[in-house]
Amino acid sequence: MFQNRAEALALALPAVVFAAVVFLVPVGILLSEGFRMEGAWSLSAYVDFFSKPLNQTVFWRTLKLGAMVTAVSAVIGYATAYAIVTLPPTARGRMIGLVVMPLMISPVARTYAWIVILGRTGFVNQVIVGLGLSDTPVRFLFTETAVFIGLLQLFLPLMILSLISALENMPRDAVPAARVLGANWLQVFLKVILPLTREGLVIGGTLVFTGSLTAYITPAILGGSKVLMLETLLYQRVTVANDFASASIIAMILIVMSFSANMLLKRLATARNRR
């Protein structure tokens, strides 16, 4: 047994050393930079960071867009996933294929497509002007709306897939049983579907929220410097100002936000379960 253990450790050693040297140590050094001020440990860099109005705006905007994208993708995701799981197997397979397809296309290509669609002469504006909803084309590009739409399209498939697998694991008779017993659709959703699929919602929600927080290409292309998010701000601080201290603070904020979102979603799911 001991011999096996030593061998197992020896086998794992190169991977552990590799991960430690090229990942854990550099990340540790980078993150610790935000806690150092003139050679001493201090939180003042964080205080400075949050005292700047621009940084506050960017922080709240990132949080707001992340939450909105997660919430809207959950609503659309439940409807789509429920519709898909009720289909016969062949059709279901095809629909899942359609959901997965955008994930195979590079986010850069998908985001550039939105520039064309949302532009002044793009499809959306042609419809708006054509229907007489507005005399002049509406400005979508380089606004929060454009970033929201881009992020939603980017991450919605992850939510749908998580919810499909959760709904497939739900007992088939649960919904008909609840309906027979007189529950309306809202009650069915809140009291039957939601508790039974909470794991899928937590996984999907975490993927979508963290994805929205850490996406760089979409906010960079559709928002630009007028709609700075934490990711694009981080890039600006490093490449323009060579300011690694602010960058490490932003990285830390993003990590904390991602973990908190995951914990919060788990807490919400279990709280509902206990009731």
CB of 158 to another protein, least distance (A): 28
DSSP-derived secondary structure letter, 261: H
Euclidean distance between CA atoms 201 and 159, whole angstroms: 7
Nearer to another protein, 102 or 224 (CB): 224
91 or 241, CB closer to another protein?
A: 241
Work out the widest C-alpha separation in the chain, in whole angstroms.
80
Q: Is 196 exposed, middle or buried (0-12, 13-18, 19+ CB in 10 A)?
A: middle
> Could you give phi then psi for residue 86, rounded to 5 degrees?
-85, -5
Q: Compare residues 99 and 118 and give the one whose CB is closer to another protein.
A: 118
Provide, rounded to whole angstroms, the least separation between the CB of residue 240 and another protein.
Answer: 4
Identify whether the C-beta of residue 70 lies closer than 8 Å to the C-beta of residue 149: no
Shortest Cβ distance from residue 20 to another protein (Å)? 13
Q: Measured from the CB of residue 120, what is the shortest distance to another protein in angstroms?
A: 6
Q: Which of 256, 257, 247 is nearest to 30 (CA)?
A: 247
Length of the chain: 275
Residues 6+ apart with CB under 8 A from 123: 116, 117
Reading phi first (left if > 0) and then psi (alpha if -120 to 50, else beta), residue 173 is in: alpha
In whole angstroms, give the CA distance from residue 207 to residue 155.
8
Q: Which is nearer to another protein, 21 or 101 (CB)?
A: 21
Residues near another protein (CB under 8 A): 6-7, 10-11, 13-14, 17, 52-54, 57, 115-116, 119-121, 139, 141-142, 224-226, 228, 236, 238-242
Rounded least distance, CB 2 to another protein, Å: 13
* Both tokens assigned to 207: 């993927």
Nearer to another protein by Cβ, of 80 and 246: the residue is 246
Q: How far is the CB of 238 from another protein (least distance, A)?
A: 8
